[in-house]
Structure 1
Amino acid sequence: MSTPPNPEEFYKKLKAQLLDTALWPTAYLYKFIVITDKEKIKQIEVIFNHLGAVIETKASKNGKYTSLSIHVNMKNPDAVIEIYKEVAEKVEGVISL
């Protein structure tokens, strides 16, 4: 049996990768998948409302899931991670890619 991933270790590794691969501030692409539910999609949209994000949604072939691609300018890796944490906390069942 495998142990569940440690979120803090994951975010620490992500921060290091973001610092190594981009010059900040930078345009960042978030990708999320949720069960097709207007309320879940709206919850994600509200989180990005104040950031001037461009949000594209696309339903899966059978319509059961919706993917959201969100293009937004972010000031640093910490700001990127805070958004991931907020989405995970507020949107039940969301998958972050």
Structure 2
Amino acid sequence: MNTDKKTEEFYKKLRAQLYDTTSWPSEYLYKFIVPSEEKKIKQIEDLFDNLGAVITTKESGKGTYTSVSINVQMKDPDAVIEKYLEVADKVEGVISL
């Protein structure tokens, strides 16, 4: 229950910061770290399919993890947060930065 409250507070703060610092709609840069499994990388890419996203990946030095950067036009902070929550819900082991 604490984790849910902390997560809720984090996204509430992020929403406020995004409204205060950015004119919407705007480009937003998502960064995720996932285990270097093609399936997990593809899951993230598929969640941003048809959004006109520019996606780049970079494997860690040991090849254990992959960084996935996604630059995409979002309509507002709520849409940004919805996408973070969707990725966290659908991709096991993902870390959002």
**TM bucket normalised to smaller:** over 0.9
1:10 Cα offset (Å): 1.1
Question: How far apart in 1 are the matches of 2:18 and 2:12?
Answer: 10
Question: How far apart in 2 are the matches of 1:94 and 1:21?
Answer: 26
Of 26-35 and 3-12, the range deviating more from structure 2:
3-12
Which residue in the other structure is 1:61 paired with?
61
Which residue in the other structure is 1:91 paired with?
91
User: Which runs of 4 or more aligned residues in structure 1 lie more than 6 Å from their structure 2 counterparts after TM superposition?
Assistant: none
SS class of match (1:66): strand
Question: How far apart in 1 are the matches of 2:21 and 2:47?
Answer: 25
SS class of match (1:68): strand
> Could you tell me the percent identity over the aligned residues?
66
User: Residues 1-97 of structure 1 correspond to what in structure 2 (within 5 A)?
Assistant: 4=3, 6-97=6-97
Question: How far apart in 2 are the matches of 1:67 and 1:21?
Answer: 25
Question: How far apart in 2 are the matches of 1:42 and 1:52?
Answer: 16
Aligned partner of 1:52: which letter? G
Q: How many corresponding residue pairs? A: 95
**TM-score, structure 1 as length reference:** 0.94
- Across the aligned residues of Structure 1 and Structure 2, the Cα RMSD in angstroms comes to 1.0
Which runs of no fewer than 5 residues in structure 2 stay unpaired? none
1:79 Cα offset (Å): 0.3
Which runs of no fewer than 5 residues in structure 1 stay unpaired? none
SS class of match (1:50): coil
Question: How far apart in 2 are the matches of 1:69 and 1:43?
Answer: 14
